[in-house]
Amino acid sequence: MISCQQLIEFCLDYVEGVLPDEEQVGFRRHLSQCPDCVTFFETYRITPELSREALATQIPASVRESVRSFLQSRRSE
Q: Is 60 left (phi over 0), alpha (psi -120 to 50) or beta?
A: beta
- Please identify, using beta-carbon distances, which residue of 40 and 77 lies nearer to Zn ion: 40
Per-residue x/- track, 25-54, Zn ion (CB under 5 A): ---------x--x-----------------
Amino acid found at 60: P
- Please identify, using beta-carbon distances, which residue of 20 and 35 lies nearer to Zn ion: 35
Q: What does the alpha-carbon distance between residue 72 and residue 77 come to, in Å, rounded to a whole number? A: 9
Asked if 11 contacts 18 with a C-beta cutoff of 8 angstroms, the reply is no
Residue 4, interface with Zn ion (CB under 5 A)?
A: yes
- Please identify, using beta-carbon distances, which residue of 9 and 53 lies nearer to Zn ion: 9
